[in-house]
Structure 1
Amino acid sequence: MSKLLFFASSFVVGWVMQAIGLPAGWLLGALMTGMIWSFYIEKLIFRSELFTLSLALVGVVIGFMVVPEEVWAYRTLLPAFILTLTLTLVGGIALGKLFGKWTGLSGNTAFFCCLPGGASEVIALSERYQADQRIVAAFHTARITLFVFSVPLIVGLGAQTSAIDLVVPEQALSWDFILVGIAFLLALFVFGLSRFLTFPGAPMFIAIIFGFAVHQWVVPAYSMPSIVMGVAQVLIGSVIGMRFDRKTLHELKRIGKPSMLTLALYILMSLGLAFTFFLLSPLPFYTTLLAIVPAGAAEMASTAATLQMDATVVATLQMLRVLALFLALPFLIRWFAKKPI
């Protein structure tokens, strides 16, 4: 019952934030609700499957927005993407070295704290290498929370956009209900399918394909109602906000000011990488910021969708970043992490 009350509260706060024109209001409203709830009311634990379902919902909506000609044109972005990905990895490793030097933490703990992305995989691996998993989990939770809170706000205010309804053309209310039903059925199907696909970002990637197929060949004349992305953002924001609790804050306080400085440098590094990508590509700066920042594919892609930016390119580049890190992780650990004794 408490979880239902929590999600209802997150939905109402998100709806109000969206209604008053706050950029990514659904996401930020739910994020703040989750943080306040975990600090002052009750700490709730959610199964990872809930986040998987929200990834699938985001993917279905983005699939409805995909333009095949634009996707093919993304191949021209690969050189800039490879460069910025390399710089992201180098920057994360360098920050890890500085973080360890400033805090006196073990080299492995600092290394795993500052790896740019793949939080679940990084946290799970850190314990095998005798890193302090509590600090690694706290740092990644803080990093994701900070990015999810700040980047949509920066993009929304900087790009001078507001919470625009995703349904641009007029369509009958009955079709809205039908499309909402289709979105949730597809998300549930992808959720079941994702159990057999273990590569990073699988639920959202598969959902984009199914959403695209349904939009192209079943309901080509209709757009997905904005409430679907709103629900997905509420789920994402609620879960992330709930993870940032007193325990996380205690671990960060235990580290002290270096943790805040390192997180601030992460933000600056991301802005610099986005500007580099912007100079090397035809994309607008704020689109590149959403696409390059090491936060999360679903969070950044859904923000792009609600702000009427190119959510497809944001989702594509974010998923490629996570996949590339997943593939590079064994080599990074071999080169930079000390073997456990």
Structure 2
Amino acid sequence: MLNIKQLLLLGIIAVCGGVAFYLLHTPIPFLLGSMIAVLLFQVLRAEPHVVPRTTTMFAQSIIGLNIGMAFSPGIYREIGHLILPLAGYLLTILLLGLLAGYLLYKMSGLDPLTALFCCAPGGASEMIGLADEFKVDAQIVAVYHSFRIVFIISFMSFFIPWLDMVRDGARQVFNVSQRSLAGGTNIEAVLGLLLISAICFTISKRVRIPASALFISLIVGILLNTFVLHMPKAPLLFNAVGQLVLGIAIGSRFNQVSLRKINRLKYTIAFSILLTVFSALVLGVAFSHITSENMIISLLSIVPGGASEMATIAFSLGYDVTMVTTIQFVRLFAVFIVGPKVILEVNSRLLLRHGKTKSQRV
């Protein structure tokens, strides 16, 4: 049951965490600060506050609208030369996901289907939903994907600015923490955009596609800014609100039970996530060299850290979000469509190989 007081308390904790990280001048302060503050609050409580799953969708609606207003539609004139590299990337990351799932299965004692869903390089919400649908251990899948997202957000939030500094020397990386929010607090505009985000969120609940809230609000943002608003980008306060809500959605997934599950499987989870991240970084570098795209944009596009999360990092650091969002969406849709069929086939072969009976297969 939705508890307004609990949500308000988590909101206050998220704001405190975001402001603290903002004052410390950390990268992506409102996302990192709110996520870590809420995560710590949840795991330190015997009875953590329950946050509706739709919180993630509402965060995606805000972020999608924000990104849509900064979109560069001209990218689609260049997309033709990316088709072959994209196909190679999708095939490789799917195979790497299967390899990581197989290793997790062999090392952890999990059943193969649960391990494969844990390591599938799709959207966290979609993989958790599919795991529940196929009657595997959805809680383990949720813990794994949530930990993957937290790790990748934390890692990329510091790694990308460092890499940018190393590559460009004295170049000052744009960061929302380096700019005063005073210039981006047009309250009327922020309230209006939040209302539009709420409408997109309401519509997205009736649409069954990966990251529906992000996708719908992104399209609305592009159309709205192209034909009506003509703003260079949304106010910074609107971006900060999106980061705060996303931080609440991610941080609230953890509690003492999930922490115990992570602790029980800590070495195998750490190994498979590190394998995934390292492989994705190598793929990102290769993609950049093959396509001549910017290295940092390629890395943010390729690493499976969540479409809204990676786009938020790109936006907050001043990079063009168009390529990042496009490739992340392609990955989400491809894995959502193809992934379950491939996972079930691999699961069947693994069960046959280890002498399981037909009744033990999904």
Q: 2:311 aligns with which of 301, 316, 325?
A: 301
The corresponding residue for 2:162 is 157
Superposed CA deviations along residues 93-145 of structure 1, whole A, max 9, x for unmatched, are 01111111122322222212211123233233335555333322222221122
1:35 touches 1:244 (CA, 8 Å); kept in 2?
yes
How far off its partner does 1:181 sit? 2.4
The corresponding residue for 1:64 is 69
Q: 2:110 aligns with which of 77, 86, 105?
A: 105
Superposed CA deviations along residues 312-332 of structure 1, whole A, max 9, x for unmatched, are 211111111111111102321
The corresponding residue for 2:131 is 126
Counterparts of 1:43-54 in structure 2, within 5 Å, are 43-54=48-59
Change (3 A) 1:71 1:98: same
108-117 vs 86-95, which moves further: 108-117
Question: What SS does structure 2 have at the residue aligned with 1:87?
Answer: helix
Q: Normalized against structure 2, the TM-score is what?
A: 0.86
Change (3 A) 1:5 1:267: same
Question: What SS does structure 1 have at the residue aligned with 2:233?
Answer: coil
Q: Normalized against structure 1, the TM-score is what?
A: 0.91
How far off its partner does 1:61 sit? 1.1
Q: Report the AA paired with residue 16 of structure 1.
A: A
Q: Matches of 1:156 and 1:67 in 2, distance apart?
A: 22
The corresponding residue for 1:196 is 206
Q: 2:27 aligns with which of 11, 23, 27?
A: 23
Q: 2:36 aligns with which of 32, 38, 45?
A: 32
Change (3 A) 1:145 1:222: closer
The corresponding residue for 1:3 is 7
2:184 touches 2:237 (CA, 8 Å); kept in 1?
no
Q: Matches of 1:30 and 1:171 in 2, distance apart?
A: 22
2:101 touches 2:118 (CA, 8 Å); kept in 1?
yes
Say yes or no: does 1:205 pair with 2:215: yes
Q: Matches of 2:179 and 2:190 in 1, distance apart?
A: 12
Question: What SS does structure 1 have at the residue aligned with 2:69?
Answer: helix
Q: Report the AA paired with residue 213 of structure 1.
A: L
Q: Matches of 2:73 and 2:140 in 1, distance apart?
A: 43
5+ residue gaps in structure 1?
Answer: none
1:156 touches 1:162 (CA, 8 Å); kept in 2?
no
Question: What SS does structure 2 have at the residue aligned with 1:234?
Answer: helix
Q: Report the AA paired with residue 224 of structure 1.
A: A
5+ residue gaps in structure 2?
Answer: 166-172, 349-357
The corresponding residue for 2:190 is 180
Question: What SS does structure 2 have at the residue aligned with 1:308?
Answer: coil
Q: Report the AA paired with residue 333 of structure 2.
A: L
Q: Matches of 1:107 and 1:92 in 2, distance apart?
A: 13
Counterparts of 1:78-117 in structure 2, within 5 Å, are 78-117=83-122
Q: Report the AA paired with residue 115 of structure 2.
A: A
Say yes or no: does 1:13 pair with 2:25: no
Say yes or no: does 1:141 pair with 2:146: yes
How far off its partner does 1:260 sit? 1.7
2:64 touches 2:215 (CA, 8 Å); kept in 1?
yes
Q: Report the AA paired with residue 194 of structure 1.
A: S
Counterparts of 1:322-337 in structure 2, within 5 Å, are 322-337=332-347
The corresponding residue for 2:256 is 246
64-73 vs 27-36, which moves further: 64-73
How far off its partner does 1:166 sit? 10
1:186 touches 1:211 (CA, 8 Å); kept in 2?
no
Superposed CA deviations along residues 43-90 of structure 1, whole A, max 9, x for unmatched, are 121112221111111111111112222343233322222211111100
Percent identical pairs in the alignment equals 26
Q: 1:318 aligns with which of 323, 328, 347?
A: 328
Q: Report the AA paired with residue 221 of structure 2.
A: G
Change (3 A) 1:187 1:283: same
User: Aligned pairs, how many?
Assistant: 338
Change (3 A) 1:127 1:213: closer
